[in-house]
C-alpha cells in the first residue's frame, strides 16, 4: 500500500459526493430538495474535516520539513495556494445554515457551492498529481532504507 492510497481514496469519495450535490443543484428539483442538499453538504463537510485533519496533521508537516528542498517547495506551494479551501467550505456551510436561506437565494447558493467545488477539485487534482507522488516516493525510499537496515 502506498502512503497516498488513503488520501486518494478520500479524494475520490469527496469528488463523488460533490458530483452528487452538484447534480442535486439542477432545476427543476432544486431548490425543492434543499433539505437533502443541506444534508449532503453536512456529510461532505464531515468527510472533508477528517481528510483535512489527516493531511494537515500528518502529511503536510512531514513534507514541509523534508530534507529535500524540492519536496518542501512543492508542499509549501500547494499548502499556500489551497490551504484555506477547507475553511471556505466550513464558512459556506455556516453562512447557508438553514433550508429557508438556501431556498430564498437558491441561485446564489448553487453558484457559491459550485465555485467551492471547483477550487476543491483543483486542489485534489494537484495533490493527486504533484504532492502524493512525492509522498509515495518518500514512503518507498523509507521502506527500502528500513529493509536494508534490518538485514
pLDDT at 151: 47
Q: Is the pLDDT of residue 18 over 50?
A: yes
Residue whose grid cell is 477528517: 50
Q: What is the pLDDT of residues 30-63, one digit of tens each?
A: 999 999 999 999 999 999 999 999 998 889 999 9
Angstrom distances, CA of residue 23 to CA of 31, 37, 40, 79, 110: 12, 10, 12, 29, 10
Domains of the chain: 5-141 (1.20.120)
Does residue 139 have a pLDDT over 90?
A: no
The closest of 138, 104, 129 to 3, measured between CA atoms, is 138
Amino acid at each position: 500500500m502506498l502512503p497516498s492510497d488513503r488520501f486518494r481514496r478520500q479524494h475520490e469519495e469527496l469528488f463523488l459526493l460533490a458530483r452528487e450535490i452538484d447534480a442535486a443543484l439542477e432545476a427543476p428539483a432544486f431548490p425543492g430538495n434543499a433539505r437533502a442538499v443541506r444534508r449532503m453538504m453536512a456529510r461532505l463537510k464531515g468527510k472533508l474535516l477528517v481528510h483535512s485533519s489527516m493531511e494537515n496533521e500528518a502529511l503536510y508537516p512531514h513534507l514541509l520539513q523534508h530534507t529535500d528542498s524540492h519536496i518542501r517547495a512543492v508542499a509549501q506551494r500547494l499548502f499556500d495556494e489551497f490551504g484555506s479551501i477547507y475553511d471556505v467550505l466550513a464558512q459556506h456551510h455556516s453562512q447557508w445554515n438553514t433550508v429557508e436561506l438556501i431556498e430564498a437565494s437558491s441561485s446564489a447558493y448553487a453558484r457559491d457551492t459550485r465555485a467551492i467545488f471547483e477550487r476543491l477539485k483543483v486542489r485534489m487534482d494537484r495533490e493527486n498529481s504533484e504532492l502524493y507522488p512525492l509522498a509515495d516516493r518518500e514512503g518507498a525510499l523509507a521502506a527500502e532504507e528500513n529493509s536494508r537496515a534490518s538485514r
